[in-house]
Structures are given as structure tokens and as C-alpha cells.
Amino acid sequence: MPSQEPLLLRHHRPFLAFWFARIFTASGFQMLTVAIGWNLYQLTGNVLDLGLVGLVEFAPRVLFMLHTGHVADRYDRRKVAAICQSLQALIALALAIGSATDHVTREMIFILAFLLGAARSFEMPTTQALLPSIVPTALFPRAVAAAQSAQQSATIVAPALGGLLYAFGSVWVYGPTVLLYVIACSLMLNLPARQTPLNKGKATLDSLLAGIRFIRSRPDILGAISLDLFAVLLGGATALLPVFAKDILLTGPWGLGLLRSAPAVGALGMSLFLARFAVERNVGRVMFTAVGIFGVATIAFGLSTSFWFSLAVLVVLGAADMISMVIRASFVQLETPDEMRGRVSAVNGLFIGASNQLGEFESGLTAHWFGTVPAVVMGGIGTLVVTGTWIKLFPTLARRDRMTELVEEAKA
């Protein structure tokens, strides 16, 4: 029954430790993102730099993609995640010291953004591969939604808090993020350890490419994650939020924090709903409809000149994105053998990262060429075109009926 399974999750201690770790690490990252974006725009006033910093952060995911998955499958996933969170704490500390001494520069921000991307490129597939080993398979789709509710809760509070604290100076944002990452690191190390590494082999080219081969052999998985790549890449407007806040909607850092939090409000509400009531029928149709709504909401945001209407549209955008994300994440993880989850998660993480970081670069570049509003509107239209095209390219995915089919196929 839907009311019993969330109750079991609330009393599952390893999952609770994982859940709170997600809150703290997501809070730290979101506060860093707000501060870095505003800090960089203050330093240069160049909208293209906002896109470039996203590209710089994304680059390590491409450079280290094959190795991140192997590390997640070869070594203790708790320790790998903790090391990555410790590195992010050091990055926040460097920015705090630089801000306190007035030594933050454009070049420093880009270097630290690259290191931040490197740490997250190893952390993301590791934490994604951890979750299936923490909770029973029957609870996994709801655990995905519950874990996302933790991240989205942080995404709501942290950007607004970061924007508010930035009014007192950037050091007041960078400083607290150090503590958040330290707490997340401690919680991660307290998770149950697996007895032996799942993959004892060396990092051969064949083993590194196993995740790519696995995804290519599953057309529905390929269709689901590539839909996210292209639809969100074109529809991503988050890199331009500082421009909307400052030049179009005429708000300050606090308004920017609210704009960044708005998608998470919708995502949190939807993730809480899905944690109790998983999507069970018309799974493919629901996923494609959600992506279409994401595109329409992007267009509406680009055309808006009202701060409050923009917030409302971003809430809808976040809710729609959460629906497709939960379906996709459950699909990929449940159909992947545990010994390959790190490598498959690394490839999936590259697709997710490309849709976010490359989407930010695409938004910054098109805004530089055509203007901010046309860039966002064209991106939303592109999302709708991709959605229609993917329905034609992956008809079995579009026709998939039950979410339970994913679980049954994973058990077969």
C-alpha cells in the first residue's frame, strides 16, 4: 500500500543517513552556485562568462567519464563520496579566504569551477550507485523520489539563503558551505560498508566502455536519457537567471535566490507526491508529457516581465522536470546489475551534466548572439521539437504502460 512504503523509508536508518547527506551536499552546492554566478557577473558584467563557467564545470565530466564509473565500482563508494565532498569543502574554503582578502578574480573562479566539476563528476555516479544497495528493490522507485525530495528541499532553501547572505558579502555564503560539506562527509562515512569491491579488475578499455555498451543495448534506456540530454539542454535557462534578476525583473541577489529556488519548489512538491504515489500507468506518455510541459514553461518564463509570474512558471517547470527524472532514474538503476551501476551511472551522469552545464553554455552563447529573451524562448521551442522527435524515434518508450514493468524486467 502506498502509505506503508514511505513509512518504511522513514524508519530505514541507512536511507535516512543518505537522505540527510544529500540535503547538506546539495545545500552546499546550491549556495556555491548562487554566490559564484553573482560574484562572476559583478566582476565582469559579461553574460557570456555565465555560460562559460558552466562549460568549465562540465568539462571534467567528459574528461573523467570512463574513470569515474570504474572508481565507483572498484572502491568503497562511501569513501569515494566523502573524498569528493571534502574537496568541495576545500573549494568553498578557498573562495571564502579569497573573498575575505579581496583576492577573488575571474581566473580564480574558473579554476575552482573546474575543480568543483571534477569533484562532482566522481561524486554523482558514486552516490547514485549507492542508493540501490541501501534500500530494498521494491522500495527503490519511491526511494528515488524521497532522495530527490531531500535535494529539492535544499535547493529551495539554500539559494534563497545564499542570496540573502550575499547581501552581507560573499564570504558569508562561502564560509557556511564548508560546514555543510563536512557534515555531509561525516554522514556518508557512517553508511554501511559493502564487504568487498564489486569490480576487482583493472581499468581496461573494455571495462571502462562497458557502461556505454550496456546503454546502447537497451534502446528504451538510451531514449530516456538522451531525451533529457537534448530537451533540457535546449530548455535550460538557469545560467541566465542573474541577467533576468538584474536587468529584466529588476531584483537583487535575494530575488536571484528566489528565482533559483522556484523550480525546486515544484520539484519538491512533485517528489513528495511521487514518494507516496508512484507513477504506475502510462509511464511513457507521462514522461513525454512532462518534458513537453517543461518546454512550454520555459517559453512562458522567457516572455515574462513579472517577477511573481516568473516564479510561478519556474515552479511548474520544476515539477514537470521531476516527473521525468524519477521515471528515468528508476528505469536506469533497476535495469542495471549492481557490479555495473557505477559505470552506467557515470554515463547517465554525463547526459544529465550535459543537459545542465552545456545547457547553461548554450543559453549564455545564444543570449550573447540574439539577446536574453529570444535565447530562452528559442530554447523552449527546441525542447518541444525534441519531445515530438523522440516520440517518433523511440515508439516503444512512448507506449510503455506500467512503471512496474521496469521492476519486473530488472528482476528477470
Q: Could you tell me the mean pLDDT of each successive run of 10 residues in the chain, 412 residues long?
A: 56 83 91 87 83 83 80 84 94 91 89 94 85 76 80 78 84 90 91 60 64 81 83 76 84 81 85 78 87 92 90 92 84 74 77 70 80 88 92 87 51 42
194 part of a folded domain: no
Q: 153 by DSSP, 3-state: which?
A: helix
Q: Name the DSSP class of 368.
A: H
Amino acid 407 reads V
Give pLDDT, residue 410.
Answer: 39
Give pLDDT, residue 313.
Answer: 94
Spatial separation of the C-alpha atoms in residues 74 and 199, rounded to whole Å: 5
175 part of a folded domain: yes
179 part of a folded domain: yes
Using CA atoms, how far residue 246 sits from 96, 251, 255, 373, in Å, is 24, 6, 9, 14
188: Cβ contacts below 8 Å, ≥ 6 apart: 17, 18, 21, 78, 81, 82, 85
Quick one: which of 335, 367, 341, 312 has its CA closest to 128? 341
Q: Are 227 and 290 in contact (CB under 8 A)?
A: no
The b-or-e profile of 268-290 (16+ CB within 10 A means b, else e) is bbbbbbbbeebbeeebbebbbeb
245: Cβ contacts below 8 Å, ≥ 6 apart: 251, 252, 253, 255, 256, 259
Domain count, the chain: 1
* Residue 101 neighbours by CB distance under 10 Å: 9
382 part of a folded domain: yes
Give pLDDT, residue 128.
Answer: 81
Q: Are 112 and 89 in contact (CB under 8 A)?
A: no
199 part of a folded domain: no
Quick one: which of 264, 62, 42 has its CA closest to 148? 264
Question: What is the number of residues in the chain?
Answer: 412
Give pLDDT, residue 357.
Answer: 63
120 part of a folded domain: yes
200 part of a folded domain: no
CA dihedral 254, 255, 257, 259 (to 10 degrees): 170
- For residue 394, the domain's CATH number is 1.20.1250.20
Helices (H), 236-306: 241-243, 253-276, 283-303
Helices (H), 64-105: 65-74, 77-100
116 part of a folded domain: yes
115: domain range?
A: 4-189+207-411
How many helical (H) and strand (E) elements, i.e. helices and strands, does the chain have? 20, 0
Quick one: which of 132, 144, 120, 159 has its CA closest to 353? 120
Question: Which burial class, exposed, middle or buried, applies to 329 when counting CB atoms under 10 A from its CB (0-12, 13-18, 19+)?
Answer: buried
Give pLDDT, residue 110.
Answer: 94
Structure pTM?
A: 0.71
Half-sphere exposure at residue 292, Cβ-oriented, CA atoms within 13 angstroms: 13
